[in-house]
Structure 1
């Protein structure tokens, strides 16, 4: 089903499964976006195993024909199959798929297609190596030699830029593990089992936010709490420069949380925080944040909460199928446009060096108080209905601009 005149999106609004596959294998330079959208979203209407079977059938059917058009169709089906293999999630690489691909490599060698055989074999080996490495990582938890310290470190023992770099490394490590299919699955079922890396990334955001709140509210003196808030604001400045919107918003959500916001702060502190809050103003569908993200160059770590909101909105607001039971590819096109930033940002990595002292200080942000405990501490500092008299404040020491 072609799109109507003046309609946005791909030329093909919808079609049967086989029509979409044929269109993807026939995509030319002018239709590469359809090709990428197909690869990003095909799991919403066909399994990887079934797609590999169909592409293999198409490759075998046309490869010995003399007609150049059909030979090209065969070759295109093979290269699409290679991309599918290259982008398989580790959990999707079943023994059955490995055996199918091994048989194809053997067949290619027998037919003298050495270049194609080598290409597919290398992709397979790379995926198998990734699976082995993941299994090793899951069974290995290194112990830090710096985990025991005589003096407990504080946020002021490190430069703000260094803290922002190490926060970004932790975010980037978790972000790189997220697979695009996890986000699509979350929009449909919101299952932690189907989206394990996405769940871990979201939990990391929440832990960091509660860690920041706990750092501030556990300080007995108003002056120390004020210094910590200003320290976190300076860390946010560096995070924004690094295009790390995830940690930026985790800290912002902490500083703007009710148990902290209700306390009394100096005007320059509240004014400084208000400036950073404009980025995530929700009154215009987060226009400022969307504009900042659109302008950001990789490396970048987006705030996934808004991506999940957008992808869920598209899923709930559009049918999977059009009339006559054909697949609604216009819906997949919208999903692709939302997910393309995630795919783009995952391709570029940060080059910060790991600082074990700071990572030990963070302790993966596992040390934090519950929401109830944070509220209790906030109420002890400033009871409800009672205007607290300002505590005598010594002039705060000058803090470095780092």
Structure 2
């Protein structure tokens, strides 16, 4: 049986399947490396790979026969280690790396010098990359579009007003901030619903930071709509945020888009019927169009189709990925008849592979520090309770339009 189609197995069996003497399934190996931490540790896996490397010799077996049997398996083990280092290096402890170097020194340098040196080169490269890998660093074949900067030197003011910024440039800088946060998340953070479990939350720091940013940004947006005392200024802020949402959609930044749409639907904002009625029709139509794309109907069917057809850089709606992972985790047992349920890990791995693909394609956008600072700090956010109190002041219950400033 092809390892990819394995239903369940022991750890030894799965290690055998990722290191077969012939016809390795690369997808199976990739999914295994994305999910193995849900049922073992890097240290135990390395022990199992070392055991697999030491192919047992049959009694009275000639040297040539043994080499023909052992060599393909040993090379598979080496290839798995190389891929492991390339994809998961940032998750490896110093203890693990010492054990790996011991394996290289005691076994690989003796049996496969060229391969051992190749692994050491990967280790050296990854050590150098580790210093700068917290932030995306992509090379593009053309310069980014010129940024849209406020005129009259406003960009250099100590307190830059977000209303002076072009909505397209806001969307661009939001996209860079969002992508940086998505890029930081490691595959292991998604396993075992770590972000949802108090005892495991320490394993999902970057996921929790990303969720927190989504909530804070959405809260900041709703505050910006409610804060102005005059209806004209509230409409102006709301319109600008709709325009930002549209530009986020054009950039395929579905996470910021969803945060913006969510802010429009909070109780304190949604009840501002007179403010909403004053939004010009083109912006109202655009809002409705964007809301239809992100509609929950059919399990976000329209959005999922749009995401599937996206070939450029993209930031997916992150909350839906977490929902899909939770559904997969809850709907499948960790074990099947006492064995590791590989079917479950394969389903989870397929979701994680999609996220990995989004992390691997960056946005060719010029970062503007001053603008990013506004949307990193998100100052003057009000709680939902405070916003509701403000909303009642702006538009008291049963107030006519004539009574609203």
Please give the TM-score of this superposition, normalised by the length of structure 2.
Answer: 0.84
How far apart are 1:237 and its partner, in Å?
Answer: 1.5
The answer to whether 1:389 aligns with 2:383 is no
In structure 1, which of residues 359, 373, 376 is the aligned counterpart of residue 389 of structure 2?
376
Give secondary structure in 2 for the equivalent of 1:122. Answer: helix
Task: Structure 2: give runs of 5+ residues left out of the alignment.
Answer: 58-62, 136-152
The CA RMSD measured in Å over matched residues stands at 2.9
Q: How does 1:2-401 map to 2 (within 5 A)?
A: 10-26=4-20, 31-61=25-55, 66-88=66-88, 90=90, 92-107=91-106, 110-111=109-110, 113-132=112-131, 152-186=159-193, 190=197, 191-264=200-273, 265-266=276-277, 268=281, 269-323=283-337, 325-384=338-397, 386-390=398-402
Query: Contact between 1:160 and 1:235, CA under 8 Å: does it hold in 2?
Result: yes
How far apart are 1:101 and its partner, in Å?
Answer: 2.0
Query: Contact between 2:109 and 2:116, CA under 8 Å: does it hold in 1?
Result: no
Task: Structure 1: give runs of 5+ residues left out of the alignment.
Answer: 4-8, 137-145, 394-402
Query: Contact between 1:259 and 1:378, CA under 8 Å: does it hold in 2?
Result: yes
Distance 1:135 1:204 in 2: 17
Distance 1:188 1:167 in 2: 23
Query: Contact between 1:27 and 1:34, CA under 8 Å: does it hold in 2?
Result: no
* Segment drifting more, 27-36 vs 159-168: 27-36
* Segment drifting more, 71-80 vs 52-61: 52-61
Q: 1:11 to 1:62 in 2, by over 3 A?
A: same
Number of residues paired by the alignment?
A: 375
Please give the TM-score of this superposition, normalised by the length of structure 1.
Answer: 0.84
Query: Contact between 2:82 and 2:119, CA under 8 Å: does it hold in 1?
Result: yes
Distance 1:27 1:178 in 2: 34
Instruction: Provide the residue aligned with 2:140 in structure 1.
Output: none
Q: 1:73 to 1:288 in 2, by over 3 A?
A: same
Q: 1:22 to 1:294 in 2, by over 3 A?
A: same
Give secondary structure in 1 for the equivalent of 2:88. Answer: coil
